[in-house]
């Protein structure tokens, strides 16, 4: 796998790749491959490796922003913290929620136990977490949704889907019925980062083949599938 073939945006300070599902951003404890193993191929003439600005779960594919120098990394990080970044995700839910669109305002907190490990849950005393959603299509008792999260909490969309809409994201082994060998059907389809002087960073990841294999076509406004 060559991540240099997955570039969606590139200039002197920013790089956006279409991260493949199954590739973790941070090195796993078991020593298996991660984004770090591919950073040398993403230098594109620079001496420094690019640095990821945010995180996507291992199973989540799509737009991942990397900064090509430390100064840019700081500015992009502050933009995420200030909620000045437009993020758009696609997800297939293991069921069909009522309604066509809405907003989930559900604070999240971390919980853990010796039996099940850690996970995020809805908690009125947790950190503010807001996600907007719209239902795009239904096929075989499942729904294709587009999420626009305002915040970027850990596992936010996965918990909001389950606790806010009543159905987990298909394949989710933590919050849904997925097995450890399954992959969560979540895709970061669009990322926009405004910049003061330069034009904004705009990247759109192609509609995933794994979504199309379940009977869903690329919705209006989505980038087409690869190939």
Contact 99, 133 (CB under 8 A): no
Question: Does 30 qualify as catalytic in the annotation?
Answer: no
Q: Where are the beta strands (DSSP E) in 20-153?
A: 51-52, 61-67, 85-93, 101-105, 108-113, 117-122, 130-139, 142-149
Instruction: Give the Cα separation of 3 and 16 in Å (integer).
Output: 11
The catalytic position among 57, 59, 94, 172 is 57
Instruction: Give the Cα separation of 174 and 166 in Å (integer).
Output: 15
Instruction: Give the Cα separation of 74 and 70 in Å (integer).
Output: 6
Residues that are catalytic: 57
């Amino acid at each position: 796998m060559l991540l240099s073939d997955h570039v969606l945006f590139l200039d002197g300070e920013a790089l956006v790749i279409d991260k493949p599902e199954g590739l973790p951003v941070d090195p796993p404890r078991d020593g298996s491959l991660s984004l770090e193993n591919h950073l040398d191929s993403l230098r594109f003439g620079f001496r420094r490796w690019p640095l990821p600005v945010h995180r996507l779960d291992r199973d989540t594919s799509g737009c991942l922003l990397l900064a090509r120098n430390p100064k840019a990394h700081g500015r992009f990080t502050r933009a995420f913290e200030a909620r000045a970044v437009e993020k758009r995700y696609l997800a297939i839910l293991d069921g069909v929620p009522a309604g066509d669109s809405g907003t989930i305002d559900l604070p999240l907190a971390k919980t853990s136990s010796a039996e099940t490990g850690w996970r995020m849950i809805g908690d009125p005393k947790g950190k503010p977490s807001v996600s907007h959603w719209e239902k795009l299509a239904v096929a075989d008792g499942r729904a294709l949704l587009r999420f626009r999260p305002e915040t970027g909490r850990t596992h936010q969309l996965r918990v909001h889907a389950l606790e806010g809409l009543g159905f987990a994201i298909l394949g989710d082994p933590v919050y849904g019925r997925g097995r450890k060998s399954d992959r969560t059907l979540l895709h970061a389809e669009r990322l926009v980062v405004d910049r003061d002087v330069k034009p904004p960073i705009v990247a759109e990841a192609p509609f995933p083949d794994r979504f199309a294999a379940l009977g869903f076509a690329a919705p209006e406004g989505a980038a087409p599938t690869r190939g």
